[in-house]
A = this chain, B = another copy of it.
Amino acid sequence: MIVAMQSHATDEQIQNVIERMVELGFNVHRTTGETQTILAGVGTPSHFEVTEFQVLSGVHQAYRISSPYKLAGRGFRPEGTRITFPNGLVIGGDEIVVMAGPCSVESRDQIRLSASQVAAAGARFLRGGAYKPRSSPYSFQGMGVEGLKIMRDAADEYGLLVITEVMEISQIEQMLPYIDCFQVGARNMQNFNLLRELGQVRKPVAMKRGLAATIEEVLLSAEYILSGGNYDLMLVERGIRTFETATRNTMDISAIPVLKKLTHLPVLGDPSHGVGIRDFVPPMALASVAAGADGLLIEMHPNPDKAMSDGAQSLRPEQLTELIAKLRKLAPVVDRSISPAVDAVTA
């Protein structure tokens, strides 16, 4: 930490700041200039708040130097994290992995049809919500465990993995038998108790960025999961809230290369929530991969006009097929590849 004192700070004020720094466990180096004294705190106290120093009397400004996250930092695992799934699929390696499916699990038929279309298009994960966080209490709230079973069956039939959202600690246990990856929604990115529990689990997690979360906060939330011992974590950029209303959110594509630099964790793009309008999902999916994403989360519905939720942002099946075909051509430009479609594999 560095504390820059005001130019007219008194010796007493300076001493007071030094004492507080020492109290927290810093070694303090003092630089006395013509007009200003600067205090550099060396060492790494387990926790402290830099704002506390900003309001001490005589302080001009205080800065934290070391990142407040440790396990999430790129330095912890410079080569990057690779997450391996039961069927051998790896996220964080050369392949760009597409996860696709409807917003909500609505029925067995809808999911089976979705799974066949998702697999045929070349995606490797079936996504879909069994528990739905809806901003209105009067909206459809999800099928629960029944929905999980439906997803598992359909995914197995078509050689897919299952990713779905967990909303609450009590759901973790019941989800474990059915899924391959937990998804933490944007609204739960700072539900720290939930994150802590997911740190205890031995199953991969994909955590979405909150609507107003800074990149540093994303990494601090990641720290909650990692510090519990669960290192199979991916981060998902899914749009932040800005003044622009032409799109549902503003997808922060630059967060992808920034995260890839700051952390060793794989980064996915979620263009469906990022823009929220079907026709803009394919260009934003391409942009995500061009910017360095390790994978994509995409909403697709067999019949979006009849979807029970988020139909407006769900691709039609043929749009998904076309998009993945384009991604397959794009991947080599950024030195990556796209897994071949499942039917090609099983053939």
By a beta-carbon cutoff of 8 Å, the part of chain A in contact with chain B is 2, 4, 7, 20, 27, 29, 31, 33-34, 36, 38, 40, 42-43, 46-47, 49, 51-52, 54-56, 60-61, 63, 65-66, 68-69, 75, 133-140, 167-170, 187-188, 190-193, 196, 210-212, 214-217, 220-221, 223-224, 227, 240-248, 250-258, 261, 274-280, 283-284, 286-292, 304-305, 307, 309-313, 326, 329-330, 332-334
Contact = CB atoms under 8 A, between A and B. Distances in A.
A67 B31 CA distance: 19
A142 to B, nearest CB: 11
Contacts of A221: 135
A58 to B, nearest CB: 13
Total copies of this chain within the assembly: 4
Contact of A290 (B4, B46, B244, B283): B283
Contacts of A310: 49, 51
Best-surrounded residue of A138, A254, A279 (most CB of chain B within 10 A): A254
Contacts of A307: 52
A188 B292 CA distance: 32
Contacts of A65: 4, 36, 38, 60-61
A47 B104 CA distance: 16
